[in-house]
Structure 1
Amino acid sequence: MFQTVFTDRAVVAELVAKMLWEIKAVHFSADKPYKLSSGMMSPVYIDCRKLISYPRIRSAIMDFAAATVLRQAGFEQFDVVAGGETAGIPFAAFLAERLGLPMIYVRKQPKGHGRNAQIEGHLPEGARVLVIEDLTTAGGSMFKFIDAIRDAGATVDHGIALFYYGIFPEAQQRFDKGGVKLHYLATWRDVLAAARAEKLFDDKTLSEVEAFLDAPLAWSGRNGGVASL
Structure 2
Amino acid sequence: MPSEFLHALNASNDASSTTSSPVSASPSALIAQALVKVGAVRIMSEQPFVYTSGWASPVYVDTRLLMSDVALRRKLIDIGATQIAELVTRSGINAIVGAESSGIAMAAWLADRLDLPLLYLRKRAMGWGTAARLEGRLPADARLLFIDDVTTDARSKIVGVSALRGTGAQVEDCLVILDYAIYPKTQARLAEHSLNLHSLTNWRSLCDALRASGTLSSDVMQNLAAFTEDPVRWSVENGGVGV
- TM-score when normalising by structure 1: 0.87
Q: Distance in 2 between matches of 1:185 and 1:115?
A: 31
- Are the aligned partners of 1:28 and 1:209 in contact in 2 as well (CA < 8 Å)? no
Q: How many residues align?
A: 222
Unaligned runs of 5+ in 2: 1-21
Inter-CA distance 39–102: structure 2 relative to 1 (3 Å threshold): closer
Inter-CA distance 66–109: structure 2 relative to 1 (3 Å threshold): same
Q: CA deviation at 1:30?
A: 6.1
1:146 match? 161
Q: CA deviation at 1:161?
A: 0.3
1:228 match? 242
Inter-CA distance 86–218: structure 2 relative to 1 (3 Å threshold): same
Match of 1:35 among 19, 32, 50: 50
Moved more, 117-126 or 85-94: 117-126
- Are the aligned partners of 2:131 and 2:167 in contact in 1 as well (CA < 8 Å)? no
1:195 match? 210
RMSD: 2.5
Q: Distance in 1 between matches of 2:215 and 2:40?
A: 14
Q: Distance in 2 between matches of 1:80 and 1:214?
A: 38
Match of 1:75 among 89, 95, 98: 89
Match of 2:115 among 100, 112, 116: 100
2:219 match? 204
Moved more, 164-173 or 89-98: 164-173
SS in 2 for 1:169: coil
- TM-score when normalising by structure 2: 0.82
Report matched runs for 1:15-34 at 5 Å.
Answer: 15-29=30-44, 31-34=46-49
- Are the aligned partners of 1:81 and 1:129 in contact in 2 as well (CA < 8 Å)? yes
**Corresponding letter in the other structure for 1:203:** S
Does structure 1 residue 44 correspond to structure 2 residue 59?
yes
Inter-CA distance 125–28: structure 2 relative to 1 (3 Å threshold): same
Does structure 1 residue 184 correspond to structure 2 residue 199?
yes
Q: CA deviation at 1:55?
A: 1.7
Q: Distance in 1 between matches of 2:172 and 2:131?
A: 26
Match of 1:134 among 149, 156, 161: 149
Q: Distance in 2 between matches of 1:115 and 1:68?
A: 31
Q: Distance in 2 between matches of 1:13 and 1:174?
A: 23
Q: Distance in 2 between matches of 1:192 and 1:27?
A: 12
Q: CA deviation at 1:29?
A: 2.7
**Corresponding letter in the other structure for 1:98:** R
**Corresponding letter in the other structure for 2:71:** R
Moved more, 108-117 or 131-140: 108-117
SS in 2 for 1:108: coil
Match of 2:188 among 163, 173, 176: 173
Q: CA deviation at 1:115?
A: 10
Q: Distance in 2 between matches of 1:36 and 1:30?
A: 16
Unaligned runs of 5+ in 1: none
Q: Distance in 2 between matches of 1:213 and 1:65?
A: 25
Q: Distance in 2 between matches of 1:204 and 1:187?
A: 22
SS in 1 for 2:200: strand
Q: Distance in 2 between matches of 1:177 and 1:91?
A: 27
**Corresponding letter in the other structure for 1:173:** A
Match of 1:155 among 170, 174, 178: 170
- Are the aligned partners of 2:97 and 2:107 in contact in 1 as well (CA < 8 Å)? yes
Q: Distance in 1 between matches of 2:80 and 2:207?
A: 21
Runs of 4+ in 1 over 6 A off after TM superposition: 113-116
